Amino acid sequence: MRGSHFYHIKLKTLDGIPAVTRFPFGVQDTAGANQSFMSWTTDGKLDFVYKDGTNQVIAQTANAFTDGELSSSSITLVATADTSLVIYINGVLQELDAIKDGDATGATFANYTNANNLYIGARNTNASAGGFWAGEMGEVMIGNFAPTASEVKDFSGNIPFKWVGASQTPFVDLSFTGSTDGFAGYTDMTVTQVSNQLVGELTATTTGSIRRTVNWLTDHNVLQKKLRLTMDIIQMDGASISVRDAWSSIVGAFTSAGNNQSIEWVCTRPGNDYLYLLMTGISGDTMIVDNLSITQIGAVALYTQDSISETTWHDKANGNDGEVTGAEVLNPPSVTPLLAMHTNFIALQPGATPGTNINCTDTSDASTANAWNFLAITDTTNLAKSGSGGSFALSADGKLITLSLPKEVVGILGYGIRLHDLNSSSTTEMYLPACRMTSGDIGITITLRPWTAVDFTTILDAGDTLELWVSYVTAT
């Protein structure tokens, strides 16, 4: 985030303009001083927000997107360091708001300092700022350069994998048959150690240090970027060849001769420093190198799911560059579950001590069509108040039986009394059942006109039976 970068995301909305602002991705520190996120606001506009610790830049689409317009879109957000933020939808550059116009000339991207994680599907996890995305995502691509408009069009079709975990066109590509990028060329670059000095300079001289003769870091705007240097080492008499982005800052080293050797590092030196290639040795030592290239690594990560309904995301960076590990799904995508309908019959009778406890028995029986697609329930005897047993629990006041099933209940279709034999030794009263969902289980009560819940242990006298049926829906 401390230089030019981009995000590319393929998403699908589940509804129209959101009732609350939604964030497909984001990173933000606790104080909100360093930010980089996308949001779909309650007025239907898309925002791309960046803050360098002090200065905030917002690119907001001039147009709102109504129901269906973002139903399935390829969105690319491009941040050009200290210059601009822009938004593309399906490869088309969007007109921006007159005020929130993405002008980043007042920001200093190099001042961005944020060690927080980047979240996919939310802005962050700081209290109400989460703003989880409501919809589906197919892939998310993150890059450390600002792609051109033609490259964005490529992203908006099928992402060309030359960008995934690969490198851009080399800044330097020397076969030493001529001069390239300010470096002098040789058939092979041969440098001879003189007077026990560090040797090799990427100039026309064959003594001293190998060093870019102009401010290479400034020329190529590579501060905070990841670089790769690759070369063939034909001969190395010294102990090692070190690579430095300042005289005192060693970023990597080669310890033996060989072809196609490379190192990678993040350039953190000031822009007025040189890039050095140094061999340590004694007078007369020789270093011969060829086919030297220096590239800025391109896209650093591409995330995809196994499928829209899966919660596992994978880094598809081909194992080459900037591979990100340890991604954790904090808010899995919600999908419409497959549903199943069931009907169970339950007999309630007095326990060993009528007035104190009750027995609960599953009387579902497929052979007599006394139920339909019922789930297994474990019976219990002598269930007392505040007690539990088998698949049943009784509340402290005796007025609520909770039935726990092996699958989560997502809806109740109906319920009723099949056998009503209460107060067999006295006048039969008019009782009605009531069933409701309680945290994925079924809660059962009995009401006596005028609709007051009654204590199961009290109404089930010796010899009484109350058989209920309940139809319900579970997620398979």
For the chain, which residues make up each domain, given as ranges?
A: 5-166+299-315, 172-296, 339-475
State the average pLDDT over residues 300-308.
58
The per-residue pLDDT for 270 is: 56
- Spatial contact of 198 and 280, defined as CB atoms under 8 Å apart: yes
The pLDDT tens digits of the residues spanning 325-362 come to 444 444 444 555 678 899 999 999 999 998 899 999 99
Higher pLDDT, 258 or 304: 258
Is the bond into 433 cis (omega within 30 degrees of 0)?
A: no
Would 5-166+299-315 and 172-296 be classified into the same CATH topology? yes
Higher pLDDT, 439 or 163: 439
- Spatial contact of 474 and 339, defined as CB atoms under 8 Å apart: yes
Compute the distance between CA of residue 260 and CA of residue 172 in angstroms, rounded to an integer.
Answer: 15
State the average pLDDT over residues 293-306.
62
3-state secondary structure of 75: strand
Is it the case that residue 395 has pLDDT exceeding 70? yes
Query: Residue 84: pLDDT band by 50, 70, 90 thresholds?
Result: very high
Give the residue carrying structure tokens 């497959």: 338
- Spatial contact of 312 and 306, defined as CB atoms under 8 Å apart: yes
Compute the distance between CA of residue 294 and CA of residue 210 in angstroms, rounded to an integer.
Answer: 14
Of 81-85, 113-117, 295-299, minimum mean pLDDT range = 295-299
Query: Residue 367: pLDDT band by 50, 70, 90 thresholds?
Result: confident
The encoded tokens of residue 470 equal 């309940």
The per-residue pLDDT for 221 is: 63
CATH number of 172-296: 2.60.120
Query: Residue 23: pLDDT band by 50, 70, 90 thresholds?
Result: confident
Mean pLDDT of the chain: 74
Query: Residue 303: pLDDT band by 50, 70, 90 thresholds?
Result: low
Running DSSP on this structure, what letter comes out for residue 95?
P
Query: Residue 228: pLDDT band by 50, 70, 90 thresholds?
Result: confident
Can you spell out the DSSP letters for 385-450? TT-EETTEEE-TTS--EEE--SS-EEEEEEEEEEEEE-STTSPPP-EEEEEEEETTEEEEEEEETT
The per-residue pLDDT for 236 is: 78
The per-residue pLDDT for 101 is: 96
The per-residue pLDDT for 204 is: 29
> Rounded to two decimals, what is the model's pTM?
0.47
Running DSSP on this structure, what letter comes out for residue 109?
G
Residues 6+ apart with CB under 8 A from 32: 51, 129
The encoded tokens of residue 173 equal 């590509």
The per-residue pLDDT for 229 is: 81
Rounded percentage of the chain residues whose pLDDT exceeds 90: 23
Compute the distance between CA of residue 411 and CA of residue 475 in angstroms, rounded to an integer.
Answer: 9
State the average pLDDT over residues 8-34.
81
The per-residue pLDDT for 174 is: 43
Is it the case that residue 93 has pLDDT exceeding 90? yes
Query: Residue 283: pLDDT band by 50, 70, 90 thresholds?
Result: low
Give the residue carrying structure tokens 């991705």: 25
The per-residue pLDDT for 203 is: 33
Is it the case that residue 227 has pLDDT exceeding 80? no
Is it the case that residue 237 has pLDDT exceeding 80? no
Rounded percentage of the chain residues whose pLDDT exceeds 70: 64
Query: Residue 122: pLDDT band by 50, 70, 90 thresholds?
Result: confident
The per-residue pLDDT for 378 is: 94
Higher pLDDT, 279 or 188: 279
Calculate the CA dihedral of residues 189, 194, 200, 206 and round it to 10 degrees: -50
The per-residue pLDDT for 56 is: 95
The per-residue pLDDT for 86 is: 97
The structural architecture, per CATH, of the domain 5-166+299-315 is: Sandwich (2.60)
Higher pLDDT, 320 or 268: 268
The per-residue pLDDT for 160 is: 47
Query: Residue 175: pLDDT band by 50, 70, 90 thresholds?
Result: very low
The encoded tokens of residue 365 equal 């029986």
Compute the distance between CA of residue 121 and CA of residue 305 in angstroms, rounded to an integer.
Answer: 13
